[in-house]
Structure 1
Amino acid sequence: MGKEFDYESAFSRNIGWVTEAEQATLRRKRVAIAGMGGVGGVHLLTLARLGIGAFNIADFDTFDIVNFNRQAGALISSLGRPKVEVLAEMALDINPELDIRRFAQGVSADNLDEFLDGIDLYVDGLDFFSFAARRATFAACRRRGIPAVTAAPLGMGTAMLIFIPEGMSFEEYFCLEGCDEEEMAIRFLLGLSPGMLQRGYLADPSRVNLSERRGPSTIAACQLCAGVTATEALKILLGRGKVLVAPRGYQFDAYRNSFIKTWRPGGNRNPLQRLGLWLARKQLRRMKGSGVGRG
């Protein structure tokens, strides 16, 4: 029979990069994560290994075979099972003392207040195209004074943006009001990654179809998202280290061995962003005209 669980022993190898007092602080923190898919699931497991003591997690979906290439909870044994239940079990297998509140219907206007109750940090794990839920959640975080982090899995890298209550809001940065879904997708993508480091090595453009809510993804990007998110979460929750907040952000692309910091005053209203959006729309029209992206 193995040893009984002991928090101090389980997370003792964190000590050195954090102090014992800081580890005890992390143990008292509660993080909300909406979405338990490609990034959300690995966010939960990574933050659980960081020693965070409590989570609110939300997802309405079940695991499917198409999730196998990137989602932490996607296994033969989990096919057809609710993602929120599978990931909760995996996190509790890391730390059986975790306090996990599960929201099996996902996040909506009806449960956002409950989902964010007692939260120290929100981590975005929603599907790229979940614009209504994402906008509502970031707006609720701002009202409640909760910092919010989104790390996008792009190509084989990640782009990071952080929104704090006293800083620029999600809506001010992305400017999604009044847009149709395709325009929202373009603005969200370019807002996340003004440098678009991932653009140059897309091998098969026909796999990208915004109108069908379809695009390729990699486990490399999801794992990188979790690493940078855990680091930013640590800094925010412990109140130490420099945190870049919107309209500042950064993108790292492992395939291109590139790292850039971004600064877009005005968000998508910035002249550089407006030019980028115009080019993106033009490229999308060209792809549609040639039939690329229809498959």
Structure 2
Amino acid sequence: MSSITEGAFPYDNAFSRNLGWVTEAEQQKLRKAKVAVAGLGGVGGFHVTTLARFGIGAFSIADFDNFDVPNFNRQAGAMVSTLGRPKAEVIGAMVKDINPSADLQVYPKGVDESNIDEFLKGATVYVDGLDFFAFKARQLAFAACHRLGIPAVTAAPLGMGTSVLVFLPGQMSFEEYFGFEGCNDTEKALRFLLGLTPKRLHNSYLVEPDRINLQEKRGPSTVAGCMLCAGVAATETVKLILGRGEIRAAPWSYHVDAYTHHAAWSWRPMGYRNPLQRLGFKLGMAMLSQSATK
């Protein structure tokens, strides 16, 4: 089958093992869908390749970064053969290697105010693959999705688990849930962490807490967490495209942790204004202030 070309690619046969979980008609619906993914590192690369194997027919993908050695522990496209190469180029090639007939739009300089609407044009769903600390780009992307009426999914890798949020048109927005407006980057990092992890299922096995430093924008990660992110985010995306299966949008979120064998739903009405979130933020800022004076 090494002679397969785009024109001769046997799409139906390639994705026939999806059938049973989806119908033939639904598989064609996936083929006609377009998914936009900004950020192609830890979670984003797995998002794109997982959705490509679901048979999604079109993608917009964006990332301005190149692969480097510290990416090896978790990123789908990070290999010796890709060192120094653009992430968007590498992940785009992986998509075409899975499905040569896929319609692929690549944004090698990432997303910003000048191209976000073009990047999202025609997208059925947006899936967030941005780095945890890419606050400006994340605010921009989710605000554009809310304005354009595009469902948006974010799945954060937390230790050896994942926490998932879905934002639907006409319902609670990313800003209403996280409250980034007017915050500095440290405050945004804490709000983002608290909003993603109300149940904190991963805390019990964080053996070296000092590896997390919100002010220095660094933290540990695992490939297990990233791959779990891709599985659950792809599932929510497929449900949105097919219009079946329960979708609980923000302020609902759910956290699945493979290490502790736990899963939990969280409900945070009022988002960041929720009394529990406000208390967590106040305590978190106090702890950060205290650690900065040591």
Bin the TM-score by the shorter chain: over 0.9
Paired AA for residue 214 in structure 1: R
Q: CA deviation at 1:3?
A: 6.6
Paired AA for residue 241 in structure 2: L
Give the match for residue 182 of structure 1: 186
Give the match for residue 88 of structure 2: 84
Match of 2:68 among 64, 71, 75: 64
Paired AA for residue 149 in structure 1: V
CA distance in 2, matches of 1:73, 1:287: 36
Give the match for residue 224 of structure 1: 228
Match of 1:197 among 201, 205, 208: 201
* 3-state SS in 1 of match to 2:126: strand
CA distance in 1, matches of 2:240, 2:102: 20
Unaligned residue ranges in structure 1 (runs of 5+): 291-295
Give the match for residue 116 of structure 2: 112
1:218-269 CA deviation, whole Å, 9 max, x = no partner?
0000000000011101110000000010001100111111100010000011
Q: Percent identity?
A: 60
Give the match for residue 160 of structure 1: 164
1:121-171 CA deviation, whole Å, 9 max, x = no partner?
000000101111100110111111100000000111000000011100110
CA distance in 2, matches of 1:192, 1:99: 32
TM-score by length of 1: 0.96
CA distance in 2, matches of 1:15, 1:30: 20
Match of 1:97 among 94, 97, 101: 101
Unaligned residue ranges in structure 2 (runs of 5+): none
Matched, 1:241 2:245: yes
Match of 2:279 among 275, 279, 291: 275
Give the match for residue 293 of structure 1: none
Paired AA for residue 16 in structure 1: G
CA distance in 1, matches of 2:284, 2:275: 14
Give the direction of change, closer, same or farther, for the CA distance of 1:288–1:201 in structure 2 (3 Å limit): farther
* 3-state SS in 1 of match to 2:254: strand
Match of 2:254 among 245, 250, 257: 250
Which structure 1 residue ranges, 4+ long, deviate > 4 Å from structure 2?
none
CA distance in 2, matches of 1:205, 1:287: 12
Matched, 1:122 2:126: yes
Give the match for residue 270 of structure 2: 266
Q: Which moved more, 1:245-254 or 1:200-209?
A: 200-209
CA distance in 1, matches of 2:176, 2:50: 30
Paired AA for residue 202 in structure 2: Q
CA distance in 2, matches of 1:42, 1:144: 25
Paired AA for residue 44 in structure 2: G
CA distance in 2, matches of 1:70, 1:282: 32
Q: CA deviation at 1:204?
A: 1.1
Matched, 1:172 2:143: no
CA distance in 2, matches of 1:182, 1:256: 28
CA RMSD of aligned residues (A): 1.1
- Size of the aligned set, in residue pairs, is 290
